[in-house]
Structures are given as C-alpha cells and as structure tokens.
Chains A and B, each alone.
Chain A
Amino acid sequence: MEILILLIIVAAIFYALYVGLIHKQNAAKESFSGIDVQLKKRHDLIPNVLTIAQKFMDHEKSLLTEITALRTKAESPIDPTNDDSLKQKFAAEAQLDSKMKSLFVAVENYPTLKSDTVMVQAQQTYNEVEEHISAARRFYNSAVTELNNAVKVFPGSIVAGMLAIKEMPYFEATEADRKEVNAADILK
C-alpha cells in the first residue's frame, strides 16, 4: 500500500514537471513568434523606405540592392526548435538591421530626402518598430531563461532529457553592436 502511494506521488511529481516543461517550451516558442510578428512589420516597412530613398539616392544603388536581398533572406521561414536555424535567423536580421542603419546615416547626405515629410514619418515608424522588436526580444529572453532554468535544474533536467527538450539560445547583441562607437569612423 505504501509503495503504491509512493509510486503515485512520484508519478504526480513527474507529471507536474512534464507539464511545466511543456508550458515553458511553448511559452518560449510563442515569444519567438512574437519577435517574428515585429520583424514582419519591419520587413513590410522596408520596401516603402526603399521606394522613397531610391528617388533621391542615385549613388546608393548597391546599398539598396543589398537591403532588398537581405530582406528576402531574413523572411525565409525557419524551424524555431532548431538551434542552428534560430541563430541563422538572428544573424540575418542583425545584418538587415545594420544595413538599414547605414541607409539612414546615408540619408543625412541628401538634404531634400532628409526633410521629405514621408521619409521623416517612415523613419519615425521604423524607429517605433525597432522599439517593439527590442521589447519582443526582451520577452523572448525572459521566456528562454525560464525554460533553460527548468531544463538544467534537477529534477527537471531528468524529465527534459527523457522528452528531448533542450535549452534554447538567447537573443544576444552581435560583436559589432558591443564594440565601442568611434565617432571618427562615422564623421569622416
């Protein structure tokens, strides 16, 4: 009788850990889709910005072409449970973001474009989207922290191993983002 009660308690603990891990994994996937939603908004905004820019920026055609290509690459669907796919996705989005920042810096050299009302509005909207992306990344990292803690800490780690539930990667700043900004490089 005591053995039966003990088995029931162990089964209940196992079930609770199992449910907890599945919830946390789903929360992390949901948070990733939250980033995706914001990234989609950015992707949708980029063609508008490029259309306005190419009317004025005759000498930046290569940059505009590069951004279009990066956008197409970043839009490719991925499997959010695959670590390598996630890292590639983050890297592609980081490259796209970097090129868009270069574009906005280049806009400063075209006074007519810089003061164009539509362009100003587009830049403000783009900045707003970036802030939403930042918020979505914070949520993603928060959800991944909860999942990774549950996967690594005993006894959840045993259940996670049995169910093949792995840690997910954090969204981290790139090396370029971590480097100190050299004003001389920008102002030359």
Chain B
Amino acid sequence: MARQRRNTPQPKEHHALSIVNVSKSYGTAPALDPITFDIATGERVALIGHNGSGKTTLIRIASGLLDATTGSVSIAGHTAGSLSARASLSFIADQPTFYDDLTLWEHLEYVARLHGVETWEQTAADLLGHLGLYDRADDMPNRFSRGLKQKSAIALGFIRPFDVLLVDEPFVGLDASGKEALLELLADATTQGSTVVVATHELSFVHTVGRIIALRDGRLVYDGGTDGINVDGLVRTEDPAGEHDGERQ
C-alpha cells in the first residue's frame, strides 16, 4: 500500500495549497487519476515522478493554467485561477516564455508592475546580479540560450510577491552556479514563510525538502517525509517490488 500523508482536517485554517480529488483527461486519455493532498503554509515540497507521470499536468492545474477534469484546487483558500489565487501564486514553468519585443529589464518592470510592485528596481538588480544576468538586462530574453532563458524565468518568478511558489523542472539547462543560485532563492523564499513546491529530479533539491510527493502513471504513490527514502525507486516507471518501493529503507 502506498504511503499517504494523513492530514488532520483544519476547517478554519487555509492550506497554502489544497488539491481535492483532482483528475485530468485529455480527450479519452487519462493524465491524472483523482488526487487529494494539502500543503501547509511554509512547507517545502518536492514533486517527483518519472517522465509522463503527471507532475507538469498537476502543477499546471494548481497554477490555473489547465482546467481540472474533476476536483478543485485552492491556493491560500482561494480557487485556483481566481484573482486572489493569482495574486498569491508565482509559477515558473518548464518552458520559459517571453515577449519578442521586450528586454529582460522591461520584462521585470512589466511583471513587477502587473503585480502592483512599485519599488521593483533594487529587487530586480539584486536578482539579476544573483543569477549572473546583470550584464544581459538590456538584451532580449527570447534570444537567450536555454540556460539563460531559465534564469530569466526564475528572475521573473521572484520579482513579484507570492505566498506559494510552484516551479516545474527549474534545474533543466542550468549550470552549476545557476543551480546554486536557485537553491538559495528557494531557501530564502521558505525562510520568509512562503510555500515552495518544485517538480524536479534534482537530488540536491530533493534532499533539502521536508516532504516528497511522488506520482506514477498519474497516481499518487507516495506522500511523506524524506528520511531514508529511496528516491530512485519512486521515479521508476515500473513497480517491480509491488506497492512498497517507496518505503523507507
């Protein structure tokens, strides 16, 4: 039996992220079986699973970018996709997207101001400096390499306020210094009380979280702590050991 995290019902307190019976089908092809879990404020969670396990689908539903076929998602008590949920949630997608006609600095200004941030310049300069992008601020991010695009997307994800940060495969294409900078930013966000959920295979991040949620073939197969967990076993496509390969060793 897959290990499930038991959540004590707390009707009056909103979870940072609440997924209730969420499923998704593309036409007749199921992508996610009904999944339910909650993530408390300030938690740091790794969402893991093999390719095609449903991580990106789940994280996109949580961000409001995809409509769930069944179930509901709430962000800090607000329905995913609603105005309040969008204000509370920052989403860094696996495929960075930029305007063709705006520089990185203009992107930062735009995103910050869209979110009502009036004093954004210093934060933007700090972020760019931290990610090693300061010299590229006046370049067009759409023409950047994969790694620089990823760093730019990270900067855009952090230039605005958030209570919940959803990140999909952020380490792909990043060099060692980029990974280090991102890990520091994620740690900083948690320190300041934000909830961080990262879909990743990056072990250096997985080992820093307090909780792992594992998906396999669109099903939730593990939700619990990280102590002694066999992460490799959780991301396998097959389940040769039956139901227990996510067990602690």
Say whether A associates with B: no
Task: Report which A residues bind B (CB closer than 8 A).
Answer: none
Task: Report which B residues bind A (CB closer than 8 A).
Answer: none
